[in-house]
Structure formats: structure tokens, C-alpha cells
Structure 1
Amino acid sequence: MTTKAFAAQSATTPLGPIDIERRAAGPHDVQIDILFCGVCHSDLHTARSEWDGTQFPCVPGHEIVGRVSAVGDHVAAFAVGEIVGVGCMVDSCQHCPSCGEGLEQYCTGGGFVGTYNGPTPDAPGHTLGGYSQRIVVSDKFVLKIGHDEKDLAAVAPLLCAGITTYSPLKHWGAGPGKKVGIVGIGGLGHMGVKIAHALGAHVVAFTTSESKKQAALELGADEVVNSRNEDEMAAHAGSFDFILNTVAASHNLDPFTALLKRDGTLTLVGVPEHPHPSPAVFPLVFGRKAIAGSLIGGIAETQEMLDFCAEKGIVADIEMIRMDEIDTAYDRMLKGDVKYRFVIDTATLG
């Protein structure tokens, strides 16, 4: 099926219109007419080949919300007309220990298949993402959306930014009685503040910008700390159960490990272009502290996150763009000039 899309043809050329072919819905497939697609920093890294392995043409986009337009004969969980979502994965081996535990993002049977730039038998040999009019996905990787239809554009970023923050917050027990820090108030960080607040934790937002303090409070932070202010940082020494670091730029982690309680954890979800400086070991050893990482979430947990956010009325703060504004949006993302996530209205592809 011929589908209009927007693609990068090389690392150095602007994205532009392209016709792509989508497979017909097989017995276990769901065909989705895409309504909105969020714009993730990973899209930019991949389209501009800043990470190794980009295959061209590259159609990014893994924060997808749309309407089911066809289902395979063996699909029982979804019906034509339903509003659904697709996140960062469209397949995995389905038989390794991680997949068996609903942790497909950690698939060891060859790794999960990304919504774009992943291996597929479909032409052109790699997956093509949500900067397109429609997509066909295995029913195992399709998610139900329970939000009101008026909020669907702002739901799209939950499929990546939402689950990337929800999963570690849940895994490390953020909730009532826990003091939780969120480092960085951007696409990921603003979702982290909202979700940690809704989970009942005492939330402290860390920013390097005084101008973001009021915004962080409005997002749900109980306190805001300027991480460049040594006195403000020292006032919180040894007091955090958990800190979620969303910053995707290389920086010194030691000021944040100093804020952890004994047995506290600093978890990284931002992936910098260059490695962080090696952390000091003594503070970790003498406090049994941990530095950890976390990657999106499995399908079951992503559905749990969507249901939680629908119940709590949580969506992303977004700026809607036309498809042909994507390169400008990428440039603005690099400058931090968005509050807090761009979302493409895919009707503009027509």
C-alpha cells in the first residue's frame, strides 16, 4: 500500500516527502491511520546519523497515535475505529527470558525491532516510522489509548517520553514517603516531574536555569534546585531515595550522587553524545549507592503507564507543528527552544 511519508535521504539533507510501501495487514497485524506523531531527540540523532547505523531513506517517529483502519483475521484485541498507540518497538524475539517477563525492550534474542531503522523483511529492509500517514504493526505491539480524543496530540509523547520516565520511577519505588529528584526539565524531564508527582513522591526538580523554576513548580515539583548553585545543592546532601537524570549532555554525576541517601540510586535515561566523566567511587562505596540506567518499558508496562496517565489526566506539554516544519523543529530542539515536546499533525502530510 503506497503511503505518504517524510524521510531523510542522507545525514546532511533536509527531510522531505517520499512515497513508501506498507504491507497489507497480515493475520496478526493492525493497520493504523496515524493522527499525530511526537518528535523525539532520537529522531534527530538517527536522521542526522549521529548514532552509528542509520539506514536511508530514514522515516523517523516512534510516538504514534492513530485510528485502527484494518485488522488481521486473528486479531481480537483491537477493532476498526479504535484509537491506539505505537511506541519505540514493533517486534522482539518473543521467546528470550526478557520477552517472557514482558520486558521486550531488553530482548536478548537479537534485540527489539525499533519502530524505525530496525530490521524487517518489508521493503526497503528496515522499518519506517511514524512520520507517515499509516503504519502496520503486530497486534502484540499496539497499545490502547484511554484519553479523551481532544487530548490525543498531547498523548503521543507518552509513547516514549512518558514510558521512559514512568518505568524507572516505578522500578525504583517512587511513591508516598519517597524523595525523588528529576534532573533536567525538557521533553523527558517534564514528564518525569508530572508522573513522580502523580505517584505521590516528594518531587525536587533540578535545572541550570533560574527561568525554569516557576515552570517546574507548575508541572508538579514540590521544590526546585539550581544545580549550579552549590549552597542549594548542599542543602539536599544525603537526602534522596532516587534521582532520575534525563539530561542528554555529558556532565559530572558526582554532585548528584552526593545527594543520595545510603542505598539511593541515580538512574540515567538521557544518552549523551560523549560519555559522562568517570564518577568518583568513594561516595558510592561508602553509601552503597548506585548509578543505573533504564530503557523505555515493556509493552505491558507501557499500557499500564497509559492507563495511569489517562486516570490522572496526565499528558505532555506540546507544540503542534506541520510536517514540513520538522527541520526547523530539530534545530529548535538543539537549542532547547520547545516546551516541551513537538508533535506533528500528520494531516499536513496530505
Structure 2
Amino acid sequence: MNEHKKTGVLLANLGTPNAPTASGVKSFLSEFLHDHRVVDMSRWLWCPILHGIILPIRSPKVAKLYQSIWMEGGSPLMVYSQQQRDALHEQLNLPVELGMTYGEPSLKQGVEALLAQGVERLVVLPLYPQYSATTTAAVFDGLAKVFNQSAYLPELSFIGDYHNHPLFIKALADKVRESWQTHGRGDLLLCSYHGIPKRYADNGDVYPQHCAETTRLLGIELGLSEQQIKMTYQSQFGKEEWLQPYTDKTIETLPNQGIKTLDVICPAFSVDCLETLEEICEQNQELFMEAGGEGFNYVPCLNADAAHVDLMAQLIREKNA
């Protein structure tokens, strides 16, 4: 570790509503969907659609989905993120704070908390294993806004991705093996990644290449053939074409292809959240079973598992060497 300057760590993630209510979800979605990194349409066209149609209709529906997964300590994303922060602080013995791109604690709040502890060197770890402009770059944009208004600029290190890091691949593989030991092994391991519009990838976003590489390395680590592991994209929104194949459409076809038992893992997510616990565990499981599937097993995210914290600590050490 760099001993000359006091180092602090900012763990960055997307964020979450502060309550599973229509107003809480509306506030969060409004900030999220206003970001040009997420939706790059003209504001003149997008804002009337967002405020006149999407937010009034989607907010109550999404609030009900959050209610189905809400934990005693808050949303799963926040609960697991706090556990990650605490475990990483204990392992590194460094100041560690959370900063969410949208919602609270904000990136600004996270940075200010670290600076208040005398941090002179800041290592930022966006918890997105695969780089995308919609996520990783949005963190960088947010930090730029924070420091544009700050009188003091600490030395800054930014971890852009870790999609092929050996400890990441091993942690994923061990999570799958643990699931196999507990629930048995399915006919197929499906890696479901959060999607982005295809146009973004066509314009240079390397996200699909990173997803493919994570999947390839995970298959090698587990000793799977190309027929035993597959990757898809979930959570598409709107009418524009997104990266394919789509998770839900794929899942509906698998039983007719002889895939009767299915294991699903979501390697793009650092922590379990609405997209994994509700979209995959509930919606997509229902689709699979209704299509003739006989067994569906979701492999949880790495969350605050010891192997995940070890990975994060190693990423910080490598950046702060």
C-alpha cells in the first residue's frame, strides 16, 4: 500500500430508492433516467415522455416490485452494499465509504465523508465488473461534477473494470459450485447480464466484449463446454433494439431444446437487487416453468461473501501499490 498519503476507498454503485413507495421510486427513476449516459435522447423529446408517461405509470408498478424484495434494513442493494463497505474497511484498515450515482448516499456524500477523514488519495471502485458507459462512465461523470465544485482535489485512482480478474472468475465459479452442491447441477448454466441498447455498443461501448470474456473464462474455470454455458441480456427497456439474445425470450425456448433444469447467474451485478431477485428469480423462473421447465435455480450474486471482499481488497491493493 502507498504509505505516503492517507488513502480512502469509494465503493460506487447505481443506487436504489430510499423507500418502496411510488414517490420514492419516482424520485430515484427521475434522477436515473435523466442521465445522458443512460438515455441519450434529446431532452426536448425525452423529458415530456419521461415525466408525462413513464414516471406516472412505472413508479407505482416498480414500487410494488420493490415491496416484494424489501429487507428489514432497506433495499437488498443497499443492505449488501453496506455489508461490503464494512467488510472491506475491516480487511484493509482504510476509510471506506459508499457513493451511489443516483439516490443516497450520493457520490458527493461519499467523497465528502472520506475527505472529512483526511483522505489525500482516493481509490474509486465502481462495482460494475464489465465496463459500460451507462454505468462505469456515469460514475466518472458524477465524480467530475463533485470535484468541479470542490476546493480540494485528492489524488485519484479509478478502477475501470475487473471482468477478467482471476479472483473475480474464481469467486463466480465457486459460487456456482456451491449452488451445484446444494441444489444439484442443471442442464445449462445461463449467464444473464444487464442489457444496454445495441446502438451504444455499435458506437464503441465495450460492454458486450467484456460480458463475453467473463462468460468464456467462467466456462473454462468450471470445465464447461460451449453447449453447457450460455450468455443473454436482461432488463431491456423501451422499443429500441438492445443487446441480444434476450434473457426472457431465451428462457422460454430452452425447455423445447431439452433444457429441463436451469441454473442462472448474473455476473454483471455486484449485489442482489430488483433485477436479480424479482426479474430473474420470480418473472423469469415463472416463464421457464410455464414453458415446460422442471427445475430453476438462481445462483446469488457475490454480495458481501468473503471471496468477493478479498477480490475488492486485491483490486484496491493493485491500484494503490
TM bucket (normalised to shorter chain) is: 0.3 to 0.5
Q: TM-score, normalised by structure 2?
A: 0.33
The structure carrying a bigger helix percent of its residues is: 2
Q: TM-score, normalised by structure 1?
A: 0.31
The structure carrying a bigger strand percent of its residues is: 1
